[in-house]
Amino acid sequence: LVSEVGGNDKTIGFVSETYEEPQGEDAEPDLVCFDPSRAEFRGFGYQDGSKVVIREVAYHLDGYGHTTWEAGIALSAWVKANSGELSGQRVLELGSGCGLAGLSAAQVCGSMVLTDWGGDLDESGMTASSSSPSGLNQPQELLANLRFNARMNARRGGRASVERRDWYDCLEPGFQTEQFGLIIGSDLLYEEEAIAPLFAAVQGHVREGGTMLLMSPADPNLSRCALNQRLVGLLQGAEGGSVTTEPLRLEYYESLGALGE
């Protein structure tokens, strides 16, 4: 199932609260180094009354994965509106970034695994891995921030584990890993070079009969829209593969009361 934000057929809603400073348990210091002056905290509320709070960093400071984009918000709202499809499942999220969608899913699924790439900082602040088979430099502190968000939301219901996952590893001969019945992801493609590795990651992680749910912008003026269409073509052409596209419209509400109307 490939769902694209921007259509007019179906509406999903969310509540975005004001940026907020962490309180209580959320104010506990990081296990790894992170400059707090670069961080913002953002809360999201959903129709079922649940809430997810994430820490993110401005895009111009740290790039894509440290910022929550509209497709990620839409995916988080979608999993809340379709919680029955996730109930009891072990779910994998590719390209989790700040983790909003995966942490929303963690509150309704059986178990949740969040993944992204990057130099993985350990508790001493040392970089465990800094390069990809692609030769690209990997973002620092991305997984550290993802783990922070997972810990911060664990008490709100649903625990999620965090693992490093470089899609380029999935291109290696003999690559094997755990397979899942449901994989989710949002706004995953920004460069043409990432299409083949992402396709390999989906093939390597989805079990037979499983589903990949991809949320992406539907604006044809965005260059990455064409990249997503190429990925869809690969998925459609894969053995046993089929793709369904569902246009969605994302709406913002000022209060949970308005969302429930």
User: pLDDT per residue over 175-233, tens digit each?
Assistant: 999 999 999 999 999 899 999 999 999 999 999 999 999 999 888 888 888 899 999 99
pLDDT for the residue 253: 76
Amino acid at 187: D
Contact by Cβ (8 Å): 219, 249: no
pLDDT for the residue 128: 47
Q: What is the pTM of this model?
A: 0.85
Q: Which of 96-105, 146-155, 170-179, 216-225 has the lowest mean pLDDT?
A: 216-225
Q: How many CB atoms lie within 10 A of CB 190?
A: 13
Specify the 3-state DSSP secondary structure of 71: helix
The tally of domains found in the chain comes to 1
Nearest-angstrom CA–CA distance, 223 and 217: 10
Sheet holding 180-186, edge to edge: 51-57, 39-45, 11-16, 245-253, 2-5, 206-217, 180-186, 90-93, 111-116, 160-164
Contacts 24+ apart (CB under 8 A), 33-40: 33/121, 33/125, 33/141, 33/144, 34/141, 34/144, 34/145, 34/148, 38/62
Nearest-angstrom CA–CA distance, 128 and 118: 9
State the CATH number of the domain containing residue 223: 3.40.50.150
Nearest-angstrom CA–CA distance, 129 and 208: 31
Q: Which domain holds residue 96?
A: 2-259
Angle between helices 195-205 and 223-237 (to 10 degrees): 40
- 144: confidence class by pLDDT, cuts 50, 70, 90: confident
pLDDT for the residue 23: 63
- Angle at the Cα of 84 from the Cα atoms of 16 and 253, rounded to 5 degrees: 20
